[in-house]
């Protein structure tokens, strides 16, 4: 569905992504993991053409992303970004309705059908009771759900998620990830999720892409990617990897170690 | 649930349109020379129908050639400045933005002052032309410096505009300090904003800019909402953000340039009208743009009517009235901070 052909990208002088290639198949749940600054967010931004790579090419269903209209991209690919500005205290319903924007073209107003779509999206994400609330009155977890609802209102084929569980407590984390999993398995939505949380990525994703300094270090199933060698090499710290007794997926355990302070003179 | 629907926008626009017509009629009915109010309106309606009957020749001249063009011009400028202000606030993501923030007005002022110093009289066509050229040049220079890597950066644009505006202000002060007493009066009056030279020609000069500007912005009003929650957000929803910013910048700047070139600097309209409208009708540009245009037009017609009647027969520059109303009002906004928080 998405083919990434050896893309390289730099903001200024330093290359942030180097010669990255991978494919995402329809219906897959792909996790992008890697240390801070390894290029995860940049990669997602390139996937919906917020940024354009200096070399290489991305194809969406065989069509080069470069050749696609902005609105057409937004009809296929929805994005839930890390944190969205709330310069405007729009209501929940208004925010979800903006997801209809790519389908409206030059129309100035949403139709009743758009309103129906938005309400359905809020129902799936259990946000319907909040529809009149203002965005700045919601908690972080509720806000994330609103943006998922907005993404669903776009009727996309792919949802890109950037650190969706950062800043959420475990209750909201698991709620959110289960919602994504349901959308993936029951609605057939393709998911690409950048995450710091390797254990949940291991549990939820079909396939993982491990980035190191802008290169793909390893790609494959969680079992292939999350190994002691790979993680220690990429993150540069000692870990132990065992199996999560509930999911059977690899689990990373951080090791406690005393670091001696430099002795005072 | 109060969503913005076409019906709602249309209803509010019609009501505000009626208010505008009412203000226009009042403005035509009163003035320093006493023409009975109902006779003034009678004269107006007869001339619309192509008849001549009511009033004598002097009264007809006062109503049709002095008060009417003046009120219409004030209305057109008020609409243009208000929409330009709302657009700059969205484009620059800055609640303090007004139509003059990017130096367009200072550029126009330099053009005008040069023309005045060259001996052009205040009523000639050369003056608005020189003013418009000055503004246009500033728009291009600010645009050139306000971009990075081929993109408009709101903050860079703002800095470029403010700095170029300051430089031009220095030029203005230099010109004022070397000008003669007679020219000085013309310059000062121009700087304070003045509708006394209004005529059919000045209306026809600026009307296309204002109408086209407001229409183009109105067509993109839904996308202006999206850009307010961040450019990335707008891109995610399929907006061609660079194109939108370019069109907004050009529309708002050209409307400002056209307004300034026919009537000088009229402050506060472009700042307080968009904010007041947000307070009343909310921040959605689909409603904000038409209501700001109509309320801005009414406000400036009313202000100008005050300006020419309050100390009659002396006329105050309209800028004095808008600032006198606008200043305290803006302090009030700063105190309550309601508006500042919503942008």
Does residue B152 or residue B210 have the better pLDDT?
B210
How close is the nearest chain A Cα to the Cα of B92, in Å? Answer: 12
Q: Quote the percentage of chain B above a pLDDT of 90.
A: 49
Q: What is the residue-wise DSSP string for B37-72?
A: HHHHHHHHHHHHTT---SS-HHHHIIIIIIIHHHHH
- Dist CA B27 CA B37 (whole Å): 10
Q: Rounded to an integer, what distance in angstroms lies between the CA atom of residue B283 and that of residue B291?
A: 11
Residues 6-25 of A with CB under 8 A from B: none
Collect all residues of chain A within an 8 Å Cβ-Cβ radius of residue B97: none
How many angstroms separate the CA of residue A160 from the nearest CA in chain B?
A: 10
Return the pLDDT at B180: 83
pLDDT band of B224, cuts 50, 70, 90 = very high
CB contact A97 to B (< 8 Å): yes
**Which residues on adjacent β-strands are paired with residue A218?**
A210
Return mean pLDDT, chain B: 88
- Give the pLDDT band (50/70/90) at residue A79: very high
Minimum distance, in Å, between the CA of residue B254 and any CA atom of chain A: 23
Rounded Cα–Cα distance for residues B218 and A107 (Å) = 11
Per-residue pLDDT band at B213 (split at 50, 70, 90): very high
Nearest CA in chain B to A159: B236
pLDDT band at B122 (very low <50, low <70, confident <90, very high): low
Contact B240 A81 (CB under 8 A): no
**Strand, helix or coil at A159?**
strand
B86-95 residue pLDDT tens:
999 999 888 8
Question: Smallest CA–CA separation between A235 and chain B, in Å?
Answer: 30
Which of B75-89, B94-108, B306-320 is most confident? B75-89
Q: What pLDDT is attached to residue B223?
A: 94
Tell me the CATH number at B332. 1.10.3470.10
Per the omega criterion (within 30 degrees of 0), is the bond before B313 cis?
Answer: yes
* Cβ within 8 Å, pair B236-A81: yes
Which residue on chain A is closest to B238 by alpha carbon? A71
B150 in reach of chain A (CB within 8 A):
no
Structure tokens at A188: 């057939």
Residue B314's contacts (CB-CB under 8 Å, 6 or more residues apart) are: none
For the record, the structure tokens of A74 come out as: 């937004």
Which residues does chain B have within 8 Å of residue A159's beta carbon, measured at their own beta carbons? none
Which pLDDT value is given to residue B58?
A: 84
Contacts of A71 in chain B (CB under 8 A): 238
Q: Would an 8 Å CB–CB cutoff place B239 in contact with chain A? A: yes
Q: Is the pLDDT of residue B64 over 80?
A: yes
Residues A101, B237: C-beta atoms closer than 8 Å: yes
Q: Closest-CA residue in chain B for A47? A: B236
Q: Considering its fold, how many domains does chain B have in total? A: 1
pLDDT at residue A105, as a whole number? 87
Q: Which of B108, B116, B92 is nearest to B164 (CA)?
A: B108
Q: Which residues of A touch B93 (CB under 8 A)?
A: 87
CA nearest neighbour of A250 among A210, A215, A203: A203
**CA–CA dist B130, B114 (Å, integer):** 8
Minimum distance, in Å, between the CA of residue B171 and any CA atom of chain A: 37
- Do A144 and A168 form a contact (C-beta atoms < 8 A)? yes
* Residues of A in Cβ contact (< 8 Å) with B237: 74, 98-99, 101-102, 154
Q: B4, A102: Cβ pair inside 8 Å?
A: no
Name the DSSP letter for residue B103: S
What per-residue confidence (pLDDT) applies to B288? 95
Q: How many CB atoms neighbour CB B306 within 10 A? A: 18
- Residue B198 within a domain: yes
Cα dihedral B109, B115, B121, B122, rounded to 10, equals -10
Contact status of A134 with chain B (Cβ, < 8 Å): no
d(CA B194, CA B317): 5
Q: Tell me whether residue B13 is in a domain.
A: yes
A205-222 in b/e form (b: 16+ CB < 10 A) is bebbbbbbbbbbbbbeeb
Q: Where are the domains of chain A?
A: 2-225
Q: Is A132 on the interface with B (CB under 8 A)?
A: yes
Please give, one letter per residue, the 3-state secondary structure of chain A.
Answer: CEEEEEEEEECCCCEEEEEEEEEECCCCEEEEECCCCCCHHHHHHHHCCCCCCCEEEEEECCEEHHHCCHHHHHHHEEEECCCCCCCCCCEHHHHHHHHHHHHHCCCCCCCHHHHHHHHHHHHHCCCHHHCCCEHHHCCHHHHHHHHHHHHHHCCCCEEEEECCCCCCCHHHHHHHHHHHHHHHHHCCCEEEEECCCHHHHHHHCCEEEEEECCEEEEEECHHHHCCHHHHHHHHCCCEEEEECCCCCCEEEEECCCCCCCCCCC
Give B222's contacts (C-beta < 8 A, 6+ positions apart). A101, A104, A107, A108, A109, B285, B286
Residue written as token pair 């290359």: A15
From residue A184, alpha-carbon distances to A34, A77, A103, B41, B272 in Å are 23, 14, 22, 69, 49
A84 reaches B (C-beta below 8 A):
yes
Q: Greater confidence, B336 or A250? A: A250
Quote the minimal CA–CA distance from A72 to chain B in Å: 7
Beta bridge partners of A8: A55
Q: Which residue of B has its CA nearest to A75?
A: B238
Q: Is the pLDDT of residue B311 over 90?
A: no
- Report the C-alpha gap between A190 and A1 in whole angstroms: 9
A84 vs B325: which has the higher pLDDT: B325
Whether B229 sits inside 8 A of A85 (CB atoms) is yes
On whether any CB of chain A is under 8 Å from the CB of B11, the answer is: no
- In angstroms, the separation between the Cα of residue A213 and the nearest Cα of chain B is 24
**Residue B283 falls inside a structural domain:** yes
pLDDT at B317 > cutoff 50:
yes
Nearest by CB to residue B222, choosing from A78, A93, A101, is: A101
Contacts of A107 in chain B (CB under 8 A): 222
Is B1 inside a domain boundary?
no
Which CATH number is correct for A2-225, 3.20.20.150, 2.60.200.20, 3.10.20.30, 3.40.50.300?
Answer: 3.40.50.300
Residue B204 within a domain: yes
Scanning every residue of chain A, which has its alpha carbon at the shortest distance from the alpha carbon of B94? Answer: A87
pLDDT band at B340 (very low <50, low <70, confident <90, very high): very low
Mean pLDDT of B125-133: 87
Q: Which of residues 279-318 of B touch A (CB under 8 A)?
A: 283-284, 286
Closest CA to B3 of A206, A132, A88, A39: A132
pLDDT above 90 for B197 = no
Q: What is the mean pLDDT of residues A3-18?
A: 93
* Of B162, B88, B127, B67, residue with least CA distance to B260: B127
pLDDT in tens, A95-124: 999 999 999 988 899 999 999 999 999 998
């Amino acid at each position: 569905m998405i083919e990434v052909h050896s893309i390289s990208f730099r903001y200024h002088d330093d290359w942030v992504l180097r010669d990255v290639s991978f494919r995402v198949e329809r219906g897959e749940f792909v996790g992008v993991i890697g240390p801070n600054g390894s290029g995860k967010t940049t990669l997602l931004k390139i996937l919906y053409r917020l940024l354009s790579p200096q070399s290489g090419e991305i194809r969406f269903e065989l069509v080069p992303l470069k050749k696609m209209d902005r609105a057409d991209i937004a009809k296929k690919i929805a994005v839930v970004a890390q944190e969205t500005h709330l310069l405007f205290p729009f209501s929940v319903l208004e925010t979800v309705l903006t997801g209809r924007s790519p389908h409206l073209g030059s129309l100035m107003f949403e139709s009743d059908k758009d309103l129906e779509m938005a309400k359905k999206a809020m129902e799936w994400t259990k946000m319907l009771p909040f529809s009149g609330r203002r965005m700045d009155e919601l908690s972080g977890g509720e806000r994330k759900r609103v943006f998922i609802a907005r993404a669903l209102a776009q009727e996309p084929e792919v949802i890109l998620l950037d650190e969706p569980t950062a800043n959420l407590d475990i209750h909201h984390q698991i709620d959110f990830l289960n919602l994504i999993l349901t959308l993936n398995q029951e609605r057939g939505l393709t998911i690409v999720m950048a995450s710091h949380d390797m254990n949940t990525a291991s549990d939820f994703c079909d396939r993982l892409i491990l980035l190191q300094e802008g290169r793909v270090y390893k790609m494959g199933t969680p079992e292939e990617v999350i190994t002691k060698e790979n993680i220690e090499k990429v993150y540069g710290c000692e870990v132990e990897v065992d199996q999560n007794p509930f999911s059977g997926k690899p689990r990373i355990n951080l090791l406690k170690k005393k670091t001696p302070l430099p002795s005072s003179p | 649930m109060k969503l913005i629907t076409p019906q709602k926008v249309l209803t509010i626009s019609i009501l505000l349109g009626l208010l505008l017509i009412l203000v226009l009629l009042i403005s035509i009915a009163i003035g320093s020379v006493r023409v009975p109010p109902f006779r003034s309106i009678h004269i107006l309606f007869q001339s619309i129908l192509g008849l001549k009957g009511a009033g004598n020749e002097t009264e007809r001249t006062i109503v049709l050639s002095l008060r009417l063009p003046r009120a219409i011009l004030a209305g057109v400028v008020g609409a243009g400045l208000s929409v330009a202000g709302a657009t700059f606030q969205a484009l620059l993501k800055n609640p303090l933005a007004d139509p003059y923030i990017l130096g367009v007005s200072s550029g126009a002022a330099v053009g005008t002052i040069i023309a005045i110093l060259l001996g052009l009289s205040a009523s000639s066509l050369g003056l608005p032309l020189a003013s418009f050229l000055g503004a246009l040049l500033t728009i291009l220079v600010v645009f050139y410096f306000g971009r990075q890597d081929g993109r408009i950066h709101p903050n860079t644009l703002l800095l470029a505009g403010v700095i170029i505006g300051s430089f031009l202000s220095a030029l203005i002060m230099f010109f004022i300090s070397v000008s003669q007493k007679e020219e000085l009066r013309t310059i000062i009056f121009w700087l304070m904003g003045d509708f006394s030279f209004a005529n059919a020609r000045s209306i026809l000069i600026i009307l296309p800019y204002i109408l086209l500007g407001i229409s183009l912005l109105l067509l993109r009003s839904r996308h202006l909402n999206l850009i307010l929650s961040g450019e990335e957000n707008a891109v995610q929803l399929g907006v061609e953000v660079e194109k939108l910013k370019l069109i907004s910048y050009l529309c708002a700047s050209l409307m400002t340039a056209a307004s300034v070139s026919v009537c000088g600097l009229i402050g506060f309209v472009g700042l307080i009208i968009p904010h007041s409208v947000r307070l009343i009708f909310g921040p959605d540009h689909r409603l904000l743009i038409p209501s700001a245009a109509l309320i801005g037009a009414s406000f400036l017609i009313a202000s100008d009517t005050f300006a020419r009647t309050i100390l009659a027969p002396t006329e105050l520059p309209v800028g004095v009235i808008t600032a006198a109303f606008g200043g305290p009002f803006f302090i009030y906004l700063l105190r309550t901070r309601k508006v500042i928080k919503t942008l």
